[in-house]
């Protein structure tokens, strides 16, 4: 199985983002957290900055939209050239229609679930998405502790993906460290977002340590 490590630039130095991208060039995708002060109580960056990041990043961008009304705002990120655009199930009016629009524009379409959002309503819709993001903290801030209570959702997703023979990436985001990544990998995640654990140290080394730990505990083994 393929393991993907996506550093979250929320933990990077926002005054030196081009330099920070250079520190994570061995990662698979760079995770960009877009927050609007409405869906979550925090504000980060939006389309103009993402457009510039797309020009300087050495790796594809994985956009995580923590915003209200993604039906209105998400397609522009796909049009700008984002490799992957993930919006929240709790915020979307018509998740399937939005995912189809994102795919038609040419990006991968992801749907994100907050820790308290059940996954069951989405299990029969998995072919409409390229990625499901199971939030392992409440969205809004980096540096929080991993919520193991979310792991049963990953197991349900992994079983459904296998039964249907799909290739949907199963992503976790929040509190991922060398310790917690093992639980998420064992539950079925294959795409791991890590912010503070990558940037608060030696990013290249930490990316490889996370990758090794995930592969050691992978569900597929």
Query: Among 64, 108, 114, 153, which residue interacts with Zn ion (rule: CB under 5 A)?
Result: 64
Question: Among 193, 207, 210, 213, which residue interacts with ligand DX5 (rule: CB under 6 A)?
Answer: 193
Integer CA distances (angstroms), 48 to 6, 12, 71, 76, 107, in order: 21, 18, 18, 10, 18
Rounded to 5 degrees, φ, ψ at 200 are -85, 60
Residue 33: active-site member? yes
94 labelled catalytic? no
| Binding status of residue 144 toward ligand DX5 by CB under 6 A | yes
Phi/psi of residue 181, nearest 5 degrees: -65, -30
Q: Which of 28, 36, 173, 179 is catalytic?
A: 173
The count of residues in the chain is: 221
Placement of tokens 């992978």 in the chain: 218
7 binds ligand DX5 (CB under 6 A): no
For ligand DX5, the closer of residues 30 and 80 by Cβ is 30
CA distances from 161 to 17, 122, 158, 199, 218 (A): 35, 11, 5, 32, 15
Judged by CB under 6 A, does residue 8 bind ligand DX5? yes
The C-alpha atoms of residue 68 and residue 2 are separated, in whole angstroms, by 32
Burial of residue 68 (CB within 10 Å: 0-12, 13-18, 19+) is middle
Least Å distance between CB 160 and ligand DX5?
23
In terms of CB distance, is 20 or 173 closer to Zn ion?
173
Q: Is 36 a residue that touches Zn ion (CB under 5 A)?
A: no
Could you say which of 196, 208, 215, 218 contacts ligand DX5 (CB under 6 A)? 196
84 annotated to a ligand binding site: no
* Closest residue to bound ligand DX5 by CB: 195
Pick the stretch among 50-58, 124-132, 167-175, 202-210 that binds ligand DX5 (CB under 6 A).
167-175
Binding-site residues sit at 8, 31, 33, 64, 140-143, 173-175, 195-196
């Amino acid at each position: 199985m393929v393991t993907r490590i996506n550093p979250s630039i929320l933990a990077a130095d926002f005054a030196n983002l081009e330099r920070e991208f250079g520190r994570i060039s061995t990662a698979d995708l760079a995770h960009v957290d877009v927050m609007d002060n409405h869906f979550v109580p925090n504000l980060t960056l939006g389309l103009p900055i993402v457009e510039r990041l797309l020009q300087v990043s050495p790796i594809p961008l994985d956009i995580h939209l923590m915003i209200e009304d993604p039906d209105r705002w998400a397609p522009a990120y796909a049009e700008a050239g984002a490799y992957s655009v993930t919006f929240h199930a709790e915020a979307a009016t018509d998740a399937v229609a939005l995912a189809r629009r994102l795919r038609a524009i040419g990006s991968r379409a992801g749907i994100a679930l907050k820790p308290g959002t059940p996954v069951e309503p989405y299990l029969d819709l998995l072919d409409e998405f390229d990625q499901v993001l199971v939030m392992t903290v409440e969205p809004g801030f980096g540096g929080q502790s991993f919520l193991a209570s979310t792991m049963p959702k990953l197991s349900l997703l992994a079983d459904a993906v296998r039964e249907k023979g799909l290739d949907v990436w199963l992503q976790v985001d929040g509190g991922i460290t060398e310790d917690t990544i093992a639980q998420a990998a064992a539950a079925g995640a294959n795409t791991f977002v890590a912010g503070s654990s990558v940037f608060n140290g030696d990013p290249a080394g930490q990316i490889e340590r996370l990758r090794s730990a995930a592969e050691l505990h992978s569900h597929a083994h």
